[in-house]
Amino acid sequence: MRVTMIGSGYVGLVSGACFADFGHVVTCVDTDAAKIEALNRGEIPIFEPGLDDLVAKNAREGRLYFTTELDEAVARADAIFIAVGTPARRGDGHADLSYVYQAARDVVAKLDGFTVVVTKSTVPVGTGDEVERIMRETRPEADFAVVSNPEFLREGAAIADFKRPDRIVIGTEDARARAVMEELYRPLYLNAAPLLFTSRRTSELTKYAANAFLATKITFINEMADLCEQVGANVQEVARGIGLDNRIGSKFLHAGPGYGGSCFPKDTLALMKTAQDLAAPLRIVETVVAINDQRKRAMARKVITACGGSVRGKRIAILGLAFKPNTDDMREAPSIAIITALQDAGAEIVAYDPESMGPAQSLLPDIKYAADAYSCLEGADALVIVTEWDAFRALDLARVKTGLREPVVVDLRNIYRSEDMRRRGFQYTNVGNA
Ligand SMILES: NC(=O)c1ccc[n+]([C@@H]2O[C@H](COP(=O)([O-])OP(=O)(O)OC[C@H]3O[C@@H](n4cnc5c(N)ncnc54)[C@H](O)[C@@H]3O)[C@@H](O)[C@H]2O)c1
């Protein structure tokens, strides 16, 4: 089949490369000319494990193309995926749908023959109806169906998630569109990935419900961690104790500095706003959003306490900036709020991250960036672990201790063990006495 991706970011590029690897012929379109030029030179504009090889292989074998030109890519496509950004709108927190609507207008002008237009971007319930309305209004005679097919991949494990998803949700009641979607995802039948066909609105809401539920789980264990600290209990053991119950499950029960990233913060907010507008407020989600907002600066207070009540004039080493390991994505990373709060309190910040220091520079211009973990912590008054990159899990602790001016370690991801760290002479703080 011929597939066109509108938007070649984290989702469009990974989905496009994976569809090409299944044997479809894919054209990835983006308005960002620099991104497309880089892709055509064989450079991958983001860090995602395995993506460089997958893109190179499929481009070499003639199944994956990159362009800024919509015309031909749209006219020949069986399916066109809209995978553009839907960031939180400034001011009110609703999803900004301007990129989606622009893509719909761009696409409809070039359609030729029956085409399935698929929203892969995360969009509020009812957006498919509006996309369809815009397209029909622009070109009443065009032959198309608008389908919802939200993406559930995780950055850092995106290729495996796309190729071996827990499920694929497809929102359409159009028989022709259903046949095209079945054909597109047919390669996944081998992996027994269930294809759930629903109404378009149900599909759109399912994506938000999934993200809101996961954000709730994280927030639940984060609050439990705070209580553990007050009563001398261990949050990791509590998480294991509840997670082994199949009804609860062990995933997303790792206490930490609060969720961040390009999805959970904006999606919980957008869902909350939609529900409020429709007079069906989601009070649990509202509370989750409020708790998570406060948590990041609370983590800075934890660092200040660990430093004896003040960080003024102190040098704080930060290991990890990306919102999670194995990505360079800095969108809504907890590190931003934590570092800003520490700077507000008078600290000097030195940071190191294996992949995200490039994207971080514009968000955190007035911190120092180190070349590696050990030079980052050299002479620092405290070390704060913010992202649990594998490379930080087995640091040479003797070297860490001699490098630091004071042996203060604040581990916001619980990657070390309290007893061990204290035995080695560190003043060690983590989340929930793990
Ligand atoms: N990043 C994730 O892990 C993830 C996971 C699941 C769902 N999503 C959702 O997928 C969508 C895309 O997210 P992303 O992280 O890939 O965003 P991104 O910002 O990395 O990529 C979006 C791309 O779309 C391009 N673009 C914007 N308007 C365009 C247009 N009219 N024509 C062509 N290209 C255009 C931009 O230049 C950009 O390269 C969002 O709705 C997001 O919520 C993201």
User: 12: Cβ below 6 Å to ligand 1?
Assistant: yes
Ligand 1 centroid from CA 391, angstroms: 29
User: 86: Cβ below 6 Å to ligand 1?
Assistant: yes
Alpha-carbon distance 38 to 60, whole Å?
15
Strands 195-198 and 115-119, bridge-based pairing: unpaired
User: 220: Cβ below 6 Å to ligand 1?
Assistant: no
Alpha-carbon distance 214 to 254, whole Å?
11
CB atoms within 10 A of CB 402: 11
For 57-69, the pLDDT digits (tens) are: 999 999 999 999 9
Beta carbons of 130 and 148 less than 8 angstroms apart: no
User: 119: Cβ below 6 Å to ligand 1?
Assistant: no
User: 30: Cβ below 6 Å to ligand 1?
Assistant: yes
Catalytic residue among 18, 28, 228, 263: 263
User: 427: Cβ below 6 Å to ligand 1?
Assistant: no
User: 106: Cβ below 6 Å to ligand 1?
Assistant: yes
27 forms bridges with which residues in the sheet?
A: 4, 65
Placement of tokens 């190191």 in the chain: 352
Q: Please tell me the residue having the least CA distance from ligand 1 atom 35.
A: 7
3-state secondary structure of 22: coil
Strands 382-385 and 427-430, bridge-based pairing: unpaired
5 forms bridges with which residues in the sheet?
A: 28, 81
Q: Give the helix/strand (H/E) hosting 60.
A: helix 51-60
3-state secondary structure of 307: coil
pLDDT for the residue 191: 73
On the CB side of 366, CA atoms within 13 Å amount to 7
CB atoms within 10 A of CB 240: 12
Rg (CA), the chain: 23
Ligand 1 centroid from CA 23, angstroms: 23
Ligand 1 centroid from CA 429, angstroms: 37
pLDDT for the residue 190: 74
Alpha-carbon distance 388 to 341, whole Å?
21
H helix intervals, 314-385 = 334-344, 357-363, 373-377
- The pick from 4, 5, 10 for probing ligand 1's pocket by mutation, whose C-beta has the most ligand atoms within 8 angstroms, reads 10
Alpha-carbon distance 367 to 344, whole Å?
12
Beta carbons of 393 and 411 less than 8 angstroms apart: no
Residue 355 identity (one-letter amino acid): E
- Pick out the chain residues at pLDDT < 50: none
Catalytic residue list contains 263: yes
Beta carbons of 427 and 381 less than 8 angstroms apart: no
Alpha-carbon distance 258 to 297, whole Å?
10
Q: Measured over all CA atoms, what is the biggest interatomic distance in the chain, rounded to whole angstroms?
A: 75
Q: Is 265 left (phi over 0), alpha (psi -120 to 50) or beta?
A: alpha
Ligand 1 centroid from CA 99, angstroms: 9
- The pick from 14, 70, 71, 84 for probing ligand 1's pocket by mutation, whose C-beta has the most ligand atoms within 8 angstroms, reads 84
Beta carbons of 212 and 185 less than 8 angstroms apart: no
User: 383: Cβ below 6 Å to ligand 1?
Assistant: no
Q: Which atom of ligand 1 is nearest to the CA of 35?
A: 39
Beta carbons of 152 and 210 less than 8 angstroms apart: yes
